[in-house]
Amino acid sequence: MLSIFLRSRFRQRQPACTLALTLVLAACAPLPPPATVPAAAAPAASATAAPPATPATGALAIDSASSLIAVTVRRGGVLARLGHDHVVAARTITGSVAPQDNRAEFQFRLDQMTVDEPALRQVAGLEKQPSPEAVAGTRTNMLTKVLDADRYPVVSVRAERITDDQPLRVAITLHGVTRDYRIPVVFSRDGSAMTVSGTVDLKQTDFGLVPFSVMGGAMAVEDRMELRFTLVAR
């Protein structure tokens, strides 16, 4: 299988990469025994992300039970058929929305993300479900070999709504790097609850990371990551 082949021949040369890299490489990999895996080099940054600012009076809290951030990562190259596509999801999202200020701040921990939930794979159009062992191996490799989750445990997001008819201004901090985006969203209100949903494509290289490839790009991971989200605040 692809991951076994790669681990046997490129075990000592795996470069720093992103979430997408590990998901493809580890698709068929069994869960390795517990061990301390040396982290890949990463940009210098604080080990712990700064906590969100104190919510303003009248702010709404993110409802984790109703919120979801899902990222689909896809394989590429002429030998892409040997790999797998995957869906990684954050459900334990904490933070607040201040409607009177048109601002929101929220975050989630990388070690609380799920990998390849069957229902989410179906939504993403991914038919074949990886084995439990492959999913466990993917998650372990993702956290230890790529994301360096011990050093950079949190993804944080700050969003600001300028006008009703313009995209949100969003700052995403991942692996010690912050990038700004303009993201179109859909807002809705249901009583005291506010819901915002949308989709956006991110690039691994946006965060200073290099997509993995071998054999002149014959086996590669796409730079693009497809992100969809639904956030509910009450």
Domain assignment present for 43: no
List beta partners, residue 180.
Answer: 171
111 lies in some domain:
yes
Largest Cα separation within the chain, whole Å, is: 57
- 3-state SS of 70-109 is EEEEEEECCCHHHCCCEEEEECCEEEEEEHHHCEEEEEEE
Q: Give a yes or no: residue 76 inside a domain.
A: yes
Record the tokens describing residue 4, joined without a space. 């076994």
Owner of token pair 């086996």:
219
- Total domains in the chain come to 1
Position 179 in a domain: yes
- 3 state SS of 135: helix
Domain containing residue 91: 2-33+58-233
Q: Is residue 47 part of a domain?
A: no
Q: Is residue 217 part of a domain?
A: yes
Q: Which of 45, 2, 10, 20 is CA-nearest to residue 147?
A: 20
Q: What is the pLDDT along the chain (234 residues), one digit of tens a residue?
A: 334 333 333 343 443 333 433 333 333 333 333 333 333 333 333 344 445 555 556 899 999 999 999 999 887 778 777 667 889 999 999 999 999 999 999 999 999 999 999 999 999 999 889 899 988 877 887 787 677 888 889 999 999 998 888 899 999 999 899 999 999 999 999 988 999 999 999 987 787 766 656 577 776 777 798 999 999 999
Among residues 14, 24, 72, 87, which one has the least CA distance to residue 220? 24
Tell whether 52 is covered by a domain: no
The reply to whether 123 falls in a domain is yes
Residues 6+ apart with CB under 8 A from 172: 155, 156, 157, 178, 179, 181, 202
* CATH code of the domain covering residue 27: 2.40.128.110
Structure-token pair, residue 34: 């517990």
Both tokens of 180, joined, read: 């700004």
pTM: 0.73
